[in-house]
Structure 1
């Protein structure tokens, strides 16, 4: 069965996210751990989290993803910004244990003209401070489009971050289709080649989830504007190949397309119909 969902809001509670997912035919989802443009995090109701865990077990949900706020930049040139990012990471990983054995995704950040090597070291060092042996959460580095001074545009950069983490078994990758297409990986015309390159550099055993998005921008634009499925430069045919690829088809796919819930429901229905039953 295709494991697919979209981004849902945690503001109305954990159980509500699970019910919203079921309403649109989803069996996974992603949510922001706190205000995506700020730092505030809602207090967690342990009972509500338990209700979501029970619902997920009953309906055989795939792994879900907690997403760090966009404001987090762990490799900033500003020391206080880095300290804030570290505080958020540490707190979020504690909060993730209310939904144990799931994923926590974050954007590696921008080095702001310090250089890629400096930025990578900041990221690895931060992960060494916050990742604990007893945590059940896998931390996911997201592939980025490469706008500005973003780190994570290439598979090599992500590999360098992982190599610098002591408990690297707790670290993986979330591949964003819009981002990799915009960054110069031709998933439309050479999907096998891109997957083989990922495997050679990072290893497919470290690929845990996929953000399934079309792109408003052309190949290798190094921009980041998501489009609804089938309406962008990647296109439905290529996205159908992605969800059916033998190395990817069993991963959880999360839509981050510019849609409301009813639009996501239509996308999920369309993709389920395109998913080949083997």
Structure 2
């Protein structure tokens, strides 16, 4: 099992790798740039080599780069859309240097223009930038469906992928909190949810899981993450997700409301329960 959490790279990639190891993780997720802005930290070759050594020494799974929240490819506002194009292109170029094979982003919000409009805007960005020569798999994150978000249904994710010329480089990251809030019953019908995903998108496109409990009820369409076992999904259902034959080999990333020490306790709890199964 490869499990990790979201870690800051403000002190460098090597430091993030060291923190991951110290909390019992063997992967981690990081923001490519300021999550609420757009600035990206300059890359340091020696720092990146240090991360590579840690990943090799501790048998890391794939680490996951996360685009900033400000990236909205579905926007009708030209300045917002142009920023999304700039950040996405720059991120893909930078990730060719970092030992990171997965890049996740929120599809975006159409802000009243309609889902079809938003999907076309997203596809236009992707087709204008992806060359087919990238070594990174680009992941659409499944969303909870709040407001005018795009990507809360498997059908919407598939519609984006279908419009991308180099769709072989496209995949999906599912978030357990988002899934449950969007109306996919991963507590009582995990097999059914995965069967639906396979039928609509293809299980081979599922590349990563954001592992979170939910503060809100099933089908709430709200994005409120809770600590593992502390929400409406519950520890038993989360363990079932980690153990599922179609999911167990994927990397899992905690996005729960804790600092690394809190994530350490969650990872220990998960490992302890798995040992007793």
What TM-score range do you get, normalising by the shorter chain? over 0.9
**Structure 2 matches for 1:98-117, cutoff 5 A?**
98-100=97-99, 102-117=101-116
Report how many residues are paired: 277
Match of 1:176 in 2: 175
Distance (Å, rounded) in 1 between the aligned partners of 2:66 and 2:74: 18
Q: Deviations over 1:107-147 (max 9, x none)?
A: 00000111101100111111112212221100000000000
Report deviation, 1:77: 1.7
Deviations 1:202-244 (A, max 9, x none): 0010000000000000000000010000000100010010000
Give how far 1:276 is off: 5.6
Structure 1 unaligned segments of length 5 or more: list them: none
Aligned to 1:68: 67
SS in 1 for 2:152: coil
Q: Distance in 1 between matches of 2:151 and 2:273?
A: 30
Structure 2, unaligned stretches of length 5 or more?
none
Q: Which residue of 2 aligns with 1:39?
A: 38
Q: Does the aligned pair in 2 maintain the 1:100–1:137 contact within 8 Å? A: no
Contact preservation (8 Å) 1:101, 1:138 = no
**Quick one: distance in 1 between partners of 2:61 and 2:175?**
18
Residue of structure 2 equivalent to 1:189: 188
Q: Does structure 1 retain, via aligned residues, the 8 Å contact 2:183–2:219?
A: yes
Preserved contact between residue 64 and residue 100 of structure 2 (Cα < 8 Å): no
**TM-score normalized by the length of structure 2:** 0.98
1:155 matched to which residue of 2? 154
Aligned residues of 1:36 and 1:70 also touching (Cα < 8 A): yes
The residue that corresponds to 2:253 in the other structure is: 254
In 1, Cα distance between equivalents of 2:52 and 2:198: 32
Instruction: Show the 5 A alignment for 1:79-118.
Output: 79-100=78-99, 102-118=101-117
Structure 1 residues 277, 61: closer, same or farther in 2, change over 3 A? farther
| Residues 157 and 198 (structure 1), Cα distance of their counterparts in 2 relative to 1, 3 Å cut | same
Q: TM-score, normalized by length of structure 1?
A: 0.98
Preserved CA contact (<8 Å) 2:141 2:151:
yes
Aligned to 1:235: 234
Cα shift at 1:22? 0.2
Partner of 2:270: 271
Return the alpha-carbon distance in structure 1 between the equivalents of residues 199 and 239 of structure 2: 24
Q: 1:98 offset after TM fit, Å?
A: 1.6
Residues 50-59 or 239-248, more deviating:
50-59
Deviations 1:156-212 (A, max 9, x none): 000000000011111100000000100000001100000000000000100000000
Secondary structure, aligned partner of 1:28:
coil
Displacement of 1:54 in angstroms is 1.8
d(CA) in 2 for partners of 1:245, 1:277: 16
- Please say if 1:206 is aligned against 2:205: yes
Compared CA separation, residues 277 and 53, structure 1 to 2 (3 A): farther
